[in-house]
Amino acid sequence: GDSVILRILQKGGIRWNRVMKTLIVFIMTIAAVVAADTKPKMTKAEHKAAAERHVLRAEEFAAKAVKHEAAAEKAKAKNGYNAMQHKWPGLVRGAENAERDRAMQARRAEAENRELAAFHSEQANKTFEAEP
């Protein structure tokens, strides 16, 4: 469907081309940034709840990482002789490498959630001073 801006431009006799489209997208992006900056901030209770939620998620990701690391060790121990190891050595440990990758992703997600939890707990405990 046509956007409102496009209809207004066409009604006014302005030719719609790539430059105009880029300009309109740029203006709408600036408007979105300004609108996002003016939205209400989180309260202390909301920050506290977000911190608790991120701590729980970090613990879940830590448990997943331990599970994937154990599965990688199991896959490594399971590897016996494989004829492919001479021709394509990188493909032999596919399952082991996949589990290690999953464990690494879980550790990264855990670290991100711990950082978010620290940020939200800091915001929940912050005292705001009145500006002069």
The residue-averaged pLDDT of 56-71 equals 96
* pTM to 2 decimal places: 0.61
pLDDT band at 41 (very low <50, low <70, confident <90, very high): confident
| 105 alpha carbon, distance to own chain's centre | 12
Using alpha carbons, list the distances in angstroms from residue 91 to 72, 79, 85, 106, 125: 15, 12, 8, 23, 51
Mean pLDDT computed over every residue of the chain: 81
3-state secondary structure the chain: CCCHHHHHHHHCCCCCCHHHHHHHHHHHHHHHHHHHHCCCCCCHHHHHHHHHHHHHHHHHHHHHHHHHHHHHHHHHHHCCCCCHHHHCHHHHCHHHHHHHHHHHHHHHHHHHHHHHHHHHHHHHHCCCCCCC
The residue that leads in pLDDT, 93 or 106, is 106
